[in-house]
């Protein structure tokens, strides 16, 4: 395949940005003209001043967005779904800004239907080109073209992990030549082999045409780092370092901040630490709670209050002190689902718990007992979605048994959460049950997005109708 060999012989990382940008601009203008023709049957409207202004604005805006967001930055191991998701979000953002621009300038000659045609055409063209380009490139790599020879420095767990990731998919285009280290390992992974000692690395670089070196040395081998960097610079080899933070954290994402020129590693990504995202979540919490209270609570609350009162003697609402954001205590409200007892703050509900009334069992299974917590959301002590708040005794107990338990309190507690819609509800019989719940809560904190909240709400509502066998 001479043509494919020629195509794959280039380092496309150098050309992806200008090629994608050129194609996108051409496609944007084509989509604009095509949408005019599709809507009006001719291009006569192109001479309209408003139409020409929006065309110019669309081009400038797209170039600014891709430059600011670095949208064309693509790594070899990045999944195609992630690349397409970035492009889709960029087009959506472009359309929203353009719509605001049209409304602000009161452009009455701009056809809304024609703009819809424009963005649909542009979206389809962008996605098609991305898929075609990446699939051709990945196909070439799977045949052995456009690959990079990689040397791993450090025959240890981190070295083996990065090697497995790089060879897990042929379309990544990596070929592991082998491992080097100061001391030969007692046992090597069957997939790879040990080339030799670190002292001979310059010889390996020359003999094996190394393109990249991944350094996975341990902290006590730091003295070798400067020597390796200088060696790679002399031989035009790219060098990358595998940090050791995974040995003391379960976090899968880290962030690097720069204090002047000093890099500072943050082991946990928290989207809700950004003020705009916190405001977005707060506004949604308030609006969603008001809608639920007005449209559902106005007629359902009186019914449930009457039924609770008739089901057993005692107050309608159950109030309990629970642990909230930043480990602060707040009063959580629920419809009472148990007979009044002295152990409500000490003993969690269990399967077939005799304290639970028949009505209470139904309300727990359908989450109806949590409805008063929408007032907690309005008061600001809770969110619609977040880690479920636990009673104080559980916080005290599990914070001693699970090292990262309190991390879940970095976020405001929720009426529902990622752990709950993934089956972690009800009684925690084993420590492993709580650990799984904590891990899911932390994953939510590190991966929060508005769409994730909507997904959790949808799954919660769905479980209300189909029931949840783990509800207690």
In a domain, 269, yes or no: no
Q: What is the pLDDT of residue 109?
A: 77
For residues 262 and 248, what is the distance between their CA atoms, to the nearest angstrom? 22
Q: Where among 102, 122, 142 does a domain terminate? A: 142
- Tens-place pLDDT, residues 193-212: 888 888 888 888 888 888 88
- Is 404 in the same domain as 302? yes
- Is 279 in the same domain as 404? yes
- Is 110 in the same domain as 159? no
- Is 69 in the same domain as 25? yes
CB 414 within 8 A of CB 272: no
Q: Between these two residues, 171 and 244, which has the higher pLDDT value?
A: 244
Question: 77 vs 46, 81, 82, 243, CA distance in Å?
Answer: 43, 12, 11, 18
| pLDDT(219) > 80 | no
- The most confident of the ranges 58-67, 133-142, 320-329, 419-428 is 320-329
Q: What is the pLDDT of residue 369?
A: 93
- Tens-place pLDDT, residues 390-434: 999 999 999 999 988 999 999 999 999 999 999 888 777 788 989
| pLDDT(10) > 60 | no
Q: What is the pLDDT of residue 470?
A: 55
| pLDDT(160) > 80 | yes
- Is 39 in the same domain as 101? yes
In a domain, 268, yes or no: no
Average pLDDT rounded to a whole number, residues 82-93:
83
Q: Between these two residues, 250 and 162, which has the higher pLDDT value?
A: 162
pLDDT bucket at 302, cuts 50 / 70 / 90: very high
Q: What is the pLDDT of residue 31?
A: 92
Q: Where among 123, 142, 161 does a domain terminate? A: 142
Please give the mean pLDDT across all residues of the chain: 84
Looking at the structure of the chain, the number of domains it has is 3
B/e letters for 227-249, b = 16+ CB within 10 Å, e = fewer, are ebeebbeeeebebeebeeeeeee
- Is 345 in the same domain as 416? yes
Least confident residue range of 29-33, 193-197, 331-335: 193-197
In a domain, 258, yes or no: no
- Is 304 in the same domain as 437? yes
Q: What is the pLDDT of residue 276?
A: 85
Q: How many CB atoms lie within 10 A of CB 456?
A: 22
- Is 356 in the same domain as 290? yes
Q: What is the pLDDT of residue 250?
A: 60
Q: By percentage, how much of the chain surpasses pLDDT 90?
A: 34
Total length of the chain: 472
**CATH number of the domain that residue 178 is part of:** 3.40.50.720
pLDDT bucket at 221, cuts 50 / 70 / 90: low
Q: Which of 155, 201, 218 shows the shortest CA–CA distance to 181?
A: 155
- Is 418 in the same domain as 307? yes
Q: What is the pLDDT of residue 79?
A: 67
Question: 280 vs 231, 276, 289, CA distance in Å?
Answer: 49, 6, 14
Q: What is the pLDDT of residue 164?
A: 85
- Is 156 in the same domain as 126? no
CB 159 within 8 A of CB 173: no
Strand-pair category, 212-215 with 238-241? parallel
Q: Where among 87, 108, 142 does a domain terminate? A: 142
- Tens-place pLDDT, residues 240-266: 888 776 666 666 667 777 787 787 777
- Rg (C-alpha) for the chain, rounded Å, is 29
Q: What is the pLDDT of residue 108?
A: 80
- Tens-place pLDDT, residues 277-288: 899 999 999 999
Average pLDDT rounded to a whole number, residues 124-133:
86
Q: Between these two residues, 382 and 352, which has the higher pLDDT value?
A: 382
Name the DSSP letter for residue 327: G
Average pLDDT rounded to a whole number, residues 58-79:
77
Residue range(s) defining the domain that contains residue 165? 148-248
- Is 178 in the same domain as 49? no
pLDDT bucket at 372, cuts 50 / 70 / 90: very high
In a domain, 263, yes or no: no
- Is 312 in the same domain as 430? yes
| pLDDT(120) > 60 | yes
Q: What is the pLDDT of residue 102?
A: 86
């Amino acid at each position: 395949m001479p043509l494919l060999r020629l195509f794959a012989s280039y380092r496309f990382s150098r050309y992806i940005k200008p090629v994608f940008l050129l194609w996108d601009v051409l496609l944007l203008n084509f989509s604009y003209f095509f949408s005019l023709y599709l809507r009006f049957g001719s291009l006569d409207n192109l001479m309209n001043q408003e139409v020409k202004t929006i065309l110019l604005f669309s081009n400038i805006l797209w170039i600014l967005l891709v430059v600011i967001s670095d949208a064309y930055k693509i790594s070899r191991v990045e999944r195609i779904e992630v690349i397409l998701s970035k492009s889709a979000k960029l087009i959506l953002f472009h359309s929203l800004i353009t719509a605001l621009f049209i409304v602000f300038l009161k452009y009455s000659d701009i056809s809304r239907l024609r703009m819809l045609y424009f963005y649909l055409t542009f979206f389809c063209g962008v996605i098609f080109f991305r898929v075609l380009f990446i699939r051709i490139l990945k196909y070439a790599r799977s045949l052995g073209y456009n690959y990079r020879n990689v040397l791993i420095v450090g025959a240890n767990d981190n070295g083996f992990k990065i090697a497995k990731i790089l060879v897990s998919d042929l379309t990544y285009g990596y070929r592991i030549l082998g491992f080097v280290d100061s001391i030969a390992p007692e046992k090597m992974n069957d997939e790879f082999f040990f080339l030799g000692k670190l002292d001979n690395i310059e010889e390996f670089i020359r003999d094996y045409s190394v393109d990249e070196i991944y350094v996975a040395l341990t902290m006590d081998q730091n003295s070798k780092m400067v020597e390796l960097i200088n060696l790679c610079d002399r031989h035009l080899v790219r060098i990358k370092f595998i940090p050791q933070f995974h040995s003391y954290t379960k976090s899968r994402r880290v962030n690097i901040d720069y204090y002047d020129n000093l890099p500072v590693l943050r082991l946990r990504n928290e989207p809700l630490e950004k003020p705009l995202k916190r405001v977005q979540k707060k506004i949604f919490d308030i609006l969603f709670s008001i809608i639920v209270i007005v449209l559902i609570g106005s007629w359902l609350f009186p019914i449930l209050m009457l039924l609770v009162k008739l089901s057993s003697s005692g107050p309608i609402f159950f109030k309990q002190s629970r642990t909230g954001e930043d480990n602060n205590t707040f009063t959580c409200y629920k419809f009472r689902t148990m007979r009044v007892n002295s152990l409500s703050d000490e003993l969690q509900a269990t399967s077939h718990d005799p304290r639970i009334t028949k009505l209470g069992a139904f309300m727990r299974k359908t989450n109806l007992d949590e409805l008063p917590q929408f007032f907690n959301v309005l008061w600001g002590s809770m969110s619609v979605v977040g880690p479920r708040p636990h009673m104080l005794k559980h916080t005290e107990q599990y914070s001693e048994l699970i090292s990262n338990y309190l991390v879940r309190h970095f976020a405001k507690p929720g009426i529902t959460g990622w752990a709950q819609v993934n089956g972690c509800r009800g009684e925690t019989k084993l420590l492993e049950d709580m650990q799984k719940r904590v891990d899911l809560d932390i994953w939510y904190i590190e991966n929060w997005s508005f769409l994730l909240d909507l997904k959790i709400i949808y799954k919660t509502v769905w479980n209300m109708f189909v029931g949840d066998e783990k509800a207690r």
